Amino acid sequence: MPDLFARVIQLLGALAFGIVIGWRVYFTDRYRTAAVDFSDIATVIGIIGGGAILALFQAGTDLFGAYGVGLAIGFFAYHIRLARLVRRSPNFDEDFFIDGRRKKVSDQEFIPDYVRPTVTSMGDVTLPRKPDGTPNGPN
């Protein structure tokens, strides 16, 4: 019985580790500012099956399988969560996923100076302007 418990804990740990890594991979890729190049593919391959991961979870084992499932869950859970937030917000629509489009901030709203500007996979988003016309964000 203790072996079964330990095995379940190991599988859940590998799954959770994969979820965290998958979530982080999507987040990092989504908010990148540089152009996509071949080294990005190598990085993702390194994350999925790199030496450190294979040292933790040997290929062909249940632990590696649980890690892979967790990786997929984390990656797609990030996208699903983002899609739900975009759908619920009156300031965004599906175009946000293409190039980061959103509705302009109204005259009654502003973004505080201490808030970092949002960036998308397509590059920097133009900062909104304050009612007096000055840029609203870090200089």
Residues 6+ apart with CB under 8 A from 72: 18, 22
Helix axes 2-30, 62-88, angle to 10 degrees: 40
CA distance 124 to 51: 34
Give the number of domains in the chain: 1
pLDDT, tens digit, for every residue of 107-132? 888 878 887 776 554 554 455 566 66
Nearest CA among 38, 61, 37 for reference residue 49: 61
* Domain presence at residue 53: yes
Region class of 123: left (phi > 0), else alpha (psi between -120 and 50), else beta? left
- The answer to whether 26 and 80 are in contact (CB under 8 A) is no
pLDDT, tens digit, for every residue of 37-70? 666 667 766 666 666 777 788 878 888 889 889 9
* Domain presence at residue 119: no
* Domain presence at residue 116: no
Reported as type and span, the H/E element at residue 66 is: helix 62-88
Tell me how crowded residue 55 is: count the other CB atoms within 10 A of its CB: 8
pLDDT, tens digit, for every residue of 83-115? 999 999 988 888 887 777 888 878 888 878 887
Tell me, yes or no, if the pTM score tops 0.75: no
* Domain presence at residue 73: yes
Its domain, for residue 66, covers 2-88
CA 14 to centroid of chain Cα atoms: 19
* Domain presence at residue 111: no
* Domain presence at residue 136: no
* Domain presence at residue 36: yes
Q: Is the pLDDT of residue 73 over 80?
A: yes
* Domain presence at residue 78: yes
